Amino acid sequence: MQKPHPLVAGNWKMNGVTASHAELEALSTLLKTDSPAECEVLICPPATLIASSSNMGLSAIKIGAQDCHSEVSGAHTGDISAVMLKDAGADYVIVGHSERRADHDESSDLINAKTKAVHNAGLRAIVCVGETDAERVAGDTSTVVLGQLLVSLPDSCTSENTVIGYEPVWAIGTGKTPTVEDVADIHTEIRTALTERFGEDGAMFRIIYGGSVKPSNAKELMAALNVDGALVGGASLKATDFNGIIAAYRA
């Protein structure tokens, strides 16, 4: 049976200035000199670095954005549309990251509209879902995650244009991770929800795990059932650390 091609994505968040291009250059060198990795590699720098990073022409590294507006253009001061991100050289856009959901009060309905905008621009969306610690402790992980998922995904989603990022909020930037069994369980529930909604194509969506992934735990997390890659925050800022995570996909 065909399996999804893994994706290892780095989210630089609000980190990075022109000098950070050196990390991209270093990552590109590591990807060329190390043994081949069976995964796609993506870096989502801050919006200010998308065009310049994409213009570096590093063929082994795709460039993405961390958010977009749901409309194509208009009177939305400070916002950036998916069309503009495509024009700047982005291939992917992260939508619904828990920091956007929390800091900017983004609802799953808004994320649905943003995901549609990403698809309409001809880009791929990484749609993030995940429970808080309180929700986990209350035993509500499945309800929260599947609820966010079904509302956040528009009908335009296919395995080609959409990746699901499962990121338990309590694991982001904390050094804590769920057990491999817990990751496999929720990824499998997400897989089932995708096949119920999108039929056979649901089996081919990439479902990537995020939350304190580092070189030392990547291999076991990436080996869990229905885990098709990683979404990495802190450890994506240093080329050597990120390359150590990519190593999970080396023979």
Contacting positions for ligand PEP (CB under 6 A): 11, 167, 172-173, 210-213, 231-235
Find the shortest distance in angstroms from Cβ 111 to ligand PEP.
15
Residues 6+ apart with CB under 8 A from 75: none
Nearer to ligand PEP, 96 or 211 (CB): 211
Nearer to ligand PEP, 198 or 242 (CB): 242
DSSP 69: B
Alpha-carbon distance of 52 to 67, in angstroms, equals: 18
Nearer to ligand PEP, 11 or 202 (CB): 11
Nearer to ligand PEP, 83 or 149 (CB): 149
Alpha-carbon distance of 10 to 7, in angstroms, equals: 10
Phi, psi angles (nearest 5°) of residue 25: -60, -45
Residue tagged active-site, from 69, 97, 119, 187: 97
Find the shortest distance in angstroms from Cβ 74 to ligand PEP.
29
Residue nearest to ligand PEP (CB): 233
- Strand pairing report for 62-65 and 40-44: parallel
Alpha-carbon distance of 58 to 111, in angstroms, equals: 30
Asked about 220 being catalytic, the answer comes back as no
Find the shortest distance in angstroms from Cβ 8 to ligand PEP.
12
Find the shortest distance in angstroms from Cβ 202 to ligand PEP.
23
Asked about 97 being catalytic, the answer comes back as yes
Q: Which of 173, 186, 69 is nearest to 130 (CA)?
A: 186
- Retrieve residue 122's tokens: 């001809």
Residue tagged active-site, from 23, 131, 167, 187: 167
- What positions carry a catalytic annotation? 97, 167
